[in-house]
Amino acid sequence: MDAQTRAYLNKINTLRFIPIEKLPLSVLRTSPSPYGYESKALIKKTEQISIPGPSGEIPLRIYTPEGQGPFPVFVNFHGGGWTLGGLHNCDGFCAEICNRAQCIVVSVDYHLAPEYKFPKPLLDCYTATQWAAENISKYNGDPKKIAVGGDSAGGNLATAVALMARDKKSINLCCQVLMYPVTNYNFSTDSYQAFAEGYMLTTSTMKWMWENYLSADADGSNPYASPLQEASLRGLPQALVITAEFDPLRDDSLAYAKKLAQANVEVVQITYPTIHGFISFADRLDVGKAATMLIANYLHTTFAENR
């Protein structure tokens, strides 16, 4: 673990926060979150709209860079275990990607569990991606250059959207950016055991988040909830898979990257010596800044190759 992460983690652990699964959702959703930061990245504009969705209106925040366009498009799904988070938590990240990758970013405020259980958050995300493919040209975007991505549960939703787009033969995605994604309803891996407590995200918190997301255990074997359980990953868009070494989700994320590669999907996989959620701490951790730059460069290059 890098020294900066260790110092930050020690500070967090010293505060001895009450585990989030022990607190009411009303408190969690109105309390300040350590995830996210403000960005000073220069972009042309940010606008907020809502689109119709299967569970009601879906708020979107659209970030547009300076320049002529039309710009490629990155559709981003925030993390938070399908239960927490919103547009504010990934605002800094989205602005940085917009500026550095020179792309439009569409940030999706999907409906949250447990009020909206699987597959409702996923269907919101798919609807938003489909909306981008059909409407982003009105915002100076290029509908032929669309990527999806997200962190943690957002990474789960991103790769599930990619699966759904493949299965429906509906949206031709350039790539998927998966940041320490949840890929399997399973808690038996070495990383779930080794990093069960004391490393920001805990195993007990992940169990609670899955309980919020799923209506029944059987849903956990649905590949749209657990992409690692999909029989074939052939035909999915190329992927950047970022993992954290000290993360309960590490092994499932790595297993998914490996399975993508075995299905002849082009994969770039990078593991950083840090903790879950580190990209959301880019204002505090240099490793978060480095990963954000990597993502921006990956998107910029991939979009350029898709002519």
The percent helix, strand, coil of the chain (3-state, each to 5) is 45, 20, 35
Q: How far apart are CA 224 and CA 237, in angstroms?
A: 16
Residues whose CB falls within 8 Å of the CB of residue 125, separated by 6 or more in sequence, listed in order = 75, 77, 108, 110, 148, 157, 158, 160, 161
Band the pLDDT of 55: cuts 50, 70, 90. Answer: very high
> Catalytic: 247?
yes
> Catalytic: 152?
yes
pLDDT at 53: 98
Task: Mark residue 233 as left, alpha or beta (left: phi above 0; alpha: psi -120 to 50; beta: remaining).
Answer: alpha
Q: Give residue limits of the domains in the chain.
A: 3-11+43-305
The tokens describing 198, both together, are 């004391």
Helix crossing, 3-15 with 286-305: angle to 10°?
A: 120
Least confident of 29-38, 65-74, 138-147, 289-298: 29-38
Q: How confident is the prediction for the chain on average, in pLDDT?
A: 97
Domain 3-11+43-305 has what CATH class? alpha beta
pTM: predicted TM-score of the whole model, two decimal places: 0.96
> Catalytic: 111?
no
pLDDT at 301: 98
Structure confidence by residue, pLDDT tens digits, 211-228: 999 999 999 999 999 999
The catalytic position among 107, 109, 151, 152 is: 152
Q: How far apart are CA 72 and CA 186, in angstroms?
A: 35
The catalytic position among 91, 124, 142, 247 is: 247
The catalytic position among 109, 251, 252, 276 is: 276
pLDDT of 32 > 90? The answer is no
Question: What would the mean pLDDT of 108-130 be, rounded to a whole number?
Answer: 99
pLDDT at 218: 97
